[in-house]
């Protein structure tokens, strides 16, 4: 997962309000406020990746992107499912398993979970 742009609290909360209602906008603040505070506090350059840039980075690290979609916070985050390529050792890819924990699968939308299952069966 990566952020595609800065977590500007008011514009993002407003976009969530328009798309999903006031309750979702208020709930988004529990992620937006700490994320924005962290961005202000951390030093160095900020790096935001588009879906294609994240896919390229994963490929460079020996991971094959399987699918990608905006995750939360009004679309400022991008979630990408990936797996190790056959020639990449697990320690180099930084992963020990390609299977998501059961709890993570149940927290996804049905569309995302179905897409993940389909991609795993095709592979």
How far from each other are the two terminal CA atoms of the chain, in whole angstroms? Answer: 22
Better-predicted residue by pLDDT, 83 or 75? 83
Q: Which residue ranges make up each domain of the chain?
A: 1-123
pTM: 0.55
pLDDT in tens, 88-120: 665 555 554 445 444 444 444 444 444 444 444
Kindly state the average pLDDT of the residues 10-18. Answer: 91
What does the CA dihedral 37, 42, 50, 25 come to, rounded to 10 degrees?
-10
Confidence at residue 114, expressed as pLDDT on a 0 to 100 scale: 42
Confidence at residue 119, expressed as pLDDT on a 0 to 100 scale: 43
Confidence at residue 87, expressed as pLDDT on a 0 to 100 scale: 73
pLDDT in tens, 28-43: 899 889 988 988 898 7
- Which 3 state secondary structure label does DSSP give 55? helix
Rounded CA gap, 50 and 28, in Å? 21
Helices (H), 42-109: 51-60, 90-93, 102-107
Confidence at residue 26, expressed as pLDDT on a 0 to 100 scale: 93
The helix-helix angle for 9-20 and 22-41 (nearest 10°) equals: 160
For residues 123 and 64, is the Cβ–Cβ distance under 8 A? no
């Amino acid at each position: 997962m990566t952020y595609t742009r800065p977590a500007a609290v008011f514009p993002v909360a407003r976009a969530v309000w328009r798309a999903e209602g006031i309750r979702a906008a208020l709930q988004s603040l529990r992620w937006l406020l700490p994320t924005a505070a962290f961005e202000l506090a951390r030093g160095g350059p900020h790096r935001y990746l588009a879906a294609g840039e994240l896919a390229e980075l994963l490929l460079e690290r020996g991971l094959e992107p399987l699918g990608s979609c905006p995750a939360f916070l009004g679309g400022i985050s991008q979630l990408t499912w990936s797996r190790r390529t056959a020639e990449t050792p697990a320690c180099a890819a930084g992963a020990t398993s390609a299977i998501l924990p059961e709890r993570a699968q149940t927290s996804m939308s049905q569309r995302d979970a179905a897409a993940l299952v389909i991609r795993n069966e095709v592979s």
